[in-house]
Amino acid sequence: MDKLFIVGAGSVGGHIASNWEGYSKGQKLWGFLDDDSSKHGKEFCGYPVLGGLDFLKNYPGSKLIIGIAFSQIKSKIITRLNNIGNFIFPAIISKNAWISNGVNIAEGTIIYPGTAVNYGCEIGSFVVINMNCALGHDVIIGDYTSLAPGVNLGGHTNIGIGVEMGIGTSTKQTIRIEDFAIVGGQAMVIEDIPAYSKSAGVPAKLLLRHEIKKIYPNLKYNTF
């Protein structure tokens, strides 16, 4: 049987491990992998921290849960893992989430309890949707994006790659939030938000531009 590990002994990984019976379909969780050597050999949320990512060289084909919310870190970890070997990234969905028929969910996504996802939604790879979020019909969410607790997205909202949505943010219908934007908690988004930007407030207003391209030098976008 393929072994199953959580990558990241932090808040997201801790939630999954502490509530594994609410996510699992009977598969055993073997423990955590984390590059923070101070955590190695210790227990976290009842499971051992077995080592860093290089530990996986001995376990090709393992199943991995990427227990990390931040898009930048997730992207770098996936790149490293692809250089180590071929792994399986199952989508992890709480038994207490409601997912409509007609929803597509890609690999590595985590959906917390209390979340509702309406029909026609397309959720990309390695997305984290935290507790009590609501996605209206035909919402699109790009790879590596993270929704904090209580995010509410109106129908036909289109969210790009690597977006971070703060606690309790909301969008009206047909809003587009471009790649790697950050939207602050409790914001109400009534106009499209450009890539590599930070917005906050009610209604949400653009605060500043990020130099995300320095972090992701290989990305090819025509934003600037």
Q: Is residue 28 a part of any domain in this protein?
A: yes
The helix/strand count (H/E) of the chain reads as 3, 24
Catalytic amino acids?
A: 137
Give me the mean pLDDT over the 164-172 stretch: 96
Preceding peptide of 203 cis, ω within 30°: yes
Tell me the C-alpha distance between 87 and 181, whole Å: 29
Range of the domain at 143: 92-201
Banded pLDDT at 217 (limits 50, 70, 90): low
CA dist., res. 145 & res. 135, Å (int): 14
Cβ-contact 172, 189 below 8 angstroms: yes
Q: Are residues 124 and 168 located together in one domain of the fold?
A: yes
Q: Work out the pLDDT band at 114, boundaries 50, 70, 90.
A: very high
Look at residue 44 and tell me whether its pLDDT is greater than 60.
yes
Q: Does residue 33 lie in a domain region?
A: yes
Contacts with 12 (C-beta within 8 Å, 6 or more apart), sequence order: 67, 68, 69, 110, 128
Distance CA 150, CA 170 (A): 9
Does a structural domain hold residue 14? yes
- Whether 190 is covered by a domain: the verdict is yes
Asked if 104 and 182 sit in the same domain, the reply is: yes
31 a known binding residue?
Answer: no
Considering the domain architecture, whether residues 117 and 64 belong to the same structural domain is answered as no
User: Is 167 assigned to a binding site?
Assistant: yes
Number of domains in the chain: 2
Q: Using a cut of 0.85, tell me whether the model's pTM lies above it.
A: yes
State yes or no: pLDDT of 13 exceeds 80.
yes
**Is residue 207 assigned to a domain?**
no
pLDDT band at 221 (very low <50, low <70, confident <90, very high): very low
Specify the pLDDT at position 214.
52
86: buried, middle or exposed (CB in 10 Å: 19+, 13-18, 0-12)? exposed
Cβ atoms of residues 147 and 128 within 8 Å: yes
Are the beta carbons of 196 and 212 closer than 8 angstroms?
yes
Compute the mean pLDDT over every residue in the chain, rounded to the nearest whole number.
Answer: 90
* 161 belongs to a structural domain: yes
| Same domain (yes/no): 189, 124 | yes
Q: Are residues 80 and 114 in the same domain?
A: no
